[in-house]
A and B are shown apart, each in its own frame.
Chain A
Amino acid sequence: DAKTTQPNSMESNEEEPVHLPCNHSTISGTDYIHWYRQLPSQGPEYVIHGLTSNVNNRMASLAIAEDRKSSTLILHRATLRDAAVYYCILRDQNNDMRFGAGTRLTVKP
Chain B
Amino acid sequence: DAGVIQSPRHEVTEMGQEVTLRCKPISGHDYLFWYRQTMMRGLELLIYFNNNVPIDDSGMPEDRFSAKMPNASFSTLKIQPSEPRDSAVYFCASSPSGTASFFGVPSEAFFGQGTRLTVV
Chain A contact residues, CB within 8 Å of chain B: 30, 32, 36, 38, 42-46, 49, 51, 87, 91-102
Chain B contact residues, CB within 8 Å of chain A: 4, 31, 33, 35, 42-45, 48, 50, 55-56, 91, 93, 95, 101, 103-114
Provide the bound-state CA to CA distance between A96 and B56, in Å.
8
Provide the bound-state CA to CA distance between A32 and B98, in Å.
12
Closest 3 CB pairs of A and B: A43-B111, A99-B43, A46-B108
Residues of chain A with a CB closer than 8 A to B44's CB: 99
**A93 to B: closest C-beta gap in Å:** 5
A100:B45 contact, CB within 8 angstroms: no
B107:A49 contact, CB within 8 angstroms: yes
**A97 to B: closest C-beta gap in Å:** 6
- With A44-B91, A98-B45, A100-B42 already in contact, the answer to whether A93 and B111 are too (CB < 8 A) is no
Residues of chain B with a CB closer than 8 A to A38's CB: 43
